[in-house]
Copies of this chain bind each other. A is one copy, B any other.
Amino acid sequence: MKKLINSPDTVVTDALAGLAAAHPALSVDTDNKIITRASGPRQGKVGLVSGGGSGHEPLHGGFVGYGMLDAACPGEVFTSPVPDQMLAATKAVDGGAGVLHIVKNYTGDVLNFQMAAELAEDEGIDVVPVVINDDVAVQDSLYTAGRRGTGATVFVEKIAGALAEEGADLTAVAAVAREVNERSRSFGVALSPCAIPAAGKPTFELGESEVELGIGIHGEPGRTRSALLPAGELAAIALDAIRADMAVDGDLLVMVNGMGGTPLIELYVVFNEVRKQLAASGGHVARNLVGNYITSLEMQGFSVTICQLTDTLARLWDAPVDTPALRWGR
């Protein structure tokens, strides 16, 4: 296991210091691990807070900025942030219109965000949580009751962020976040494991020509293992798993996401297979993201996330965004 770090103990704070230095539009409290917009909360705007373990960069800190999140609270690598941290982030972004918590469905995250929401309510801040659970690979898993939250988180943060920026109220912003989650499904494939810095060894082992189908973003086991297959067949497995759970026709928002160690040339190969196979069954890729957006440290592999668009969701997707990792139209 080789990593570009100073020490397993400081990897998260060192990376946060780098994030702060690279992006002056962010305000980063490295001690308390809270990333907010340097411009502060906007009075009357619903605040959006997300968070979760580190190791999935650019998620979530790279999505803080105009048109997306107001704050992110990263935990240690693959470890939930704590309620106090979430509470501080919630208070920091409250502009009087309440705060949406975007929570990936992992037991620790859900419990801690719930406690933070209760504490915030005690201080007079309206909080609505939305739990993301788009991963069709497994019901229940190592860290989850029910389905895991993965790629749809990026879509929810972008689309709910755009609606909040327009001035919608907390009920409406929470409703669109839930709608995006309900209309989205994901499936991931790993070619290699990853290693948590503090553990110093891979989270699992894969044979020389083996892949894990239905992998989670922490290296949780998937559905099954298979021999390495051509990209087209791996894309078909991912799409079949998604199709078994949701119709994928009409206008779609599609993300082909790298797991952190996947070169871009391969992600474009996978994206080409995905859009061809979707087209063959009546699905039109109306919007797309191809790149590393929700990763698992240095894991090699990909995930596909598909959202059934509506005109409103497409409009909110297209709205201006200005964050380290997503930036357009402004």
Contact = CB atoms under 8 A, between A and B. Distances in A.
Contacts of A301: 4
A265 B2 contact: no
B15 A269 contact: yes
A81 interface: no
Interface string A226-238: 0010111010000
Interface stretch (A40-48, A83-91, A171-179, A288-296): A288-296
B328 A269 contact: no
Interface in A299-319: 300-302
Interface residues of A, number: 58
13 contacts: A2-B192, A4-B262, A4-B270, A4-B302, A5-B269, A15-B268, A15-B269, A18-B268, A19-B268, A21-B288, A22-B288, A57-B268, A292-B292
With a 10 A CB-CB cut-off, give which of A5, A263, A270 has the most chain B CB atoms: A263
Interface in A219-257: 228, 230-232, 234
B22 A266 contact: no
A231 B14 contact: yes
A19 B288 CA distance: 11
A174 to B, nearest CB: 29
Q: How many copies does the complex hold?
A: 2
A231 B4 contact: yes
A62 interface: yes
Given A4-B262, A260-B264, A264-B295, 9 more contacts: A2-B191, A2-B209, A2-B228, A4-B234, A5-B266, A15-B265, A18-B268, A22-B288, A22-B290
Given A261-B261, A263-B297, A268-B57, A2 B211 contact: yes
A12 B234 CA distance: 18
Given A191-B2, A288-B22, A57 B264 contact: yes
A235 B298 CA distance: 20
Contacts of A191: 2-4
A110 interface: no
